[in-house]
Chain A
Amino acid sequence: MAETPAPVTVTRESVLADLERILLEVVGDDLLMDGPLEMETSFSDDLQLESIEFVALAEELLNTYGEKVDFVTWMSGMELDQVVSLTAGQVVDFVVASLEA
């Protein structure tokens, strides 16, 4: 697989903004009716993300950041109750760490 250099401008805040855009694309505008996405926002309790939407989220993260950010493999190492209780901040930290690796 091609080695793509990590974008140097990635910050936790920029990844959070990307994540918000992706979630709106995947789920629709009604997702964030209670306020903007924050690091503490839980995918399950706060956003009520459906399992099929997690599939689409994984796909879009791949499209956005490339194969360095292997969200699916990361998730597959967790119990599913851990997956559903993930927060936006945990995903942001994973993305940042993957791109910096």
Chain B
Amino acid sequence: MPYIESNGLKFHVQVLGGGVDDSGAKRPKVVMLHGLVIDNLSSWFYTLGHPMAQQVDAHLVDLRGHGRTEIADSGYHVADHVADLLGLLEAWEIDEPIHFFGNSFGCVVGLALAKQHPEKVASLFLIEAHFSVPGWGEHMAGTLALAAFGLDEVAVREYLATEADRKTSRLAKRTEKLFFGTSLIEDLKTETPIDWLDEIQCPVFAIYGSESDILDRARELEAKVPHCTLEVVENASHSLLIENAALIKSRAFAWLNTHVGTDFVVEHVDVASREGALGTMGAPEAMEVLNQMAAENRHLLDERAVPVRRVV
């Protein structure tokens, strides 16, 4: 299976595409990073990865602690993820600027890479980008999933033992391990707020759902990043990539045609149509269960005034 060592950890990766085009020229390199906690590279694999690989090389990564990559005890700061990514780029022998695609938390890694190594990033395509603002760590720690696990662990364990199917149970157990067995939450809490968005020099496309709980980030990106194009999709949520995969594909193809020089056919997609086809697979399903668990513990949340935010 495709595993690569980087920064002392074994990463599960998928590289889609042939390396060279028909004329023997190297193909443009795209790197795709997923969201936090219950997401993994499959959300790219089943949406954009393969269609895109017709004309570019798409490099998909399971972030540390996610998917089939090892769960490290520590090293969950954004800077650690950047170091992981730099190691992977070296292993892949990519020395030209990449076109970065991020979903949710994955976006902050791309932004940090573009800030620290502008020579390594040609463009950023950001879906529902998370990035650290004052109080971010506390918000992240107050997610539905954490609230569910943290506030009534016994009930959650009981639920997993009696109610959850294998898929949900495994996802939830992995989430639990990530929360309680690693420094993830502590690292998020100590993340420094970003104050350098105005230093991002490459072109940036940011897309958010109008119902997203982090729409404030959209406005901040648009206001501060010099070359940022923002689109807000009506009636869409933070799960934009999963819910509106066809729309995202059409925007991604248009972006690559403009910034990479590909000639993808860009299909018109009705922004009002949600597919929801991935709703039965993996992360979205887990989120639903975690939401349910959190709802059952809502009175505890209210008592402690924990802000309810989503992280994926």
Q: Is A54 an interface residue (CB 8 A)?
A: yes
Which B residues form the contact surface with A (CB < 8 A)? 1-2, 14, 40-43, 45-46, 50-51, 62, 67-68, 165-168, 170-171, 277-278, 280-283
Known A52-B40, A76-B50; contact A84-B165, beta-carbon cutoff 8 A: no
Cβ contact within 8 Å between B14 and A55: yes
Q: Is A50 an interface residue (CB 8 A)?
A: yes
Cβ contact within 8 Å between A60 and B167: no
Cβ contact within 8 Å between B46 and A51: yes
Please pick, from B1, B41, B171, B278, the residue contacting A50 in the complex, using a CB distance under 8 A: B171
**Cα separation A55 to B40 with both chains bound (whole Å):** 11
Cβ contact within 8 Å between B281 and A80: yes
Q: Is A93 an interface residue (CB 8 A)?
A: no
Known A51-B281, A52-B68, A59-B14; contact A80-B46, beta-carbon cutoff 8 A: yes
Interface size of A by Cβ–Cβ distance < 8 Å?
21
Q: Could you tell me the distance in whole angstroms from the C-beta of A53 to the nearest C-beta in chain B?
A: 9
Cβ contact within 8 Å between B281 and A84: yes
Q: Is A49 an interface residue (CB 8 A)?
A: yes
Chain A residues positioned under 8 Å from B40 (CB to CB): 51-52
Closest A-B pairs by Cβ, 5 of them: A51-B282, A48-B166, A51-B42, A80-B277, A48-B167
Q: List 9 A-B contacts (CB under 8 A).
A: A50-B281, A51-B278, A52-B41, A52-B67, A55-B45, A56-B68, A59-B2, A79-B277, A84-B280
Cβ contact within 8 Å between B46 and A81: no
Chain A residues positioned under 8 Å from B62 (CB to CB): 52
Cβ contact within 8 Å between B277 and A81: yes
One digit per residue, 1 when the CB lies within 8 angstroms of any chain B CB and 0 when it does not, for chain A 58-82 equals 0110000000000011001001110
Q: Could you tell me the distance in whole angstroms from the C-beta of B102 to the nearest C-beta in chain A?
A: 18
Known A79-B277, A80-B277; contact A51-B68, beta-carbon cutoff 8 A: no
Q: Is A42 an interface residue (CB 8 A)?
A: no
Chain A residues positioned under 8 Å from B170 (CB to CB): 50
Q: Is A41 an interface residue (CB 8 A)?
A: no
Q: Which B residue's beta carbon lies closest to that of A1?
A: B18
Q: Could you tell me the distance in whole angstroms from the C-beta of A43 to the nearest C-beta in chain B?
A: 10
Chain A residues positioned under 8 Å from B50 (CB to CB): 72-73, 76
Known A59-B14, A72-B50; contact A52-B165, beta-carbon cutoff 8 A: no
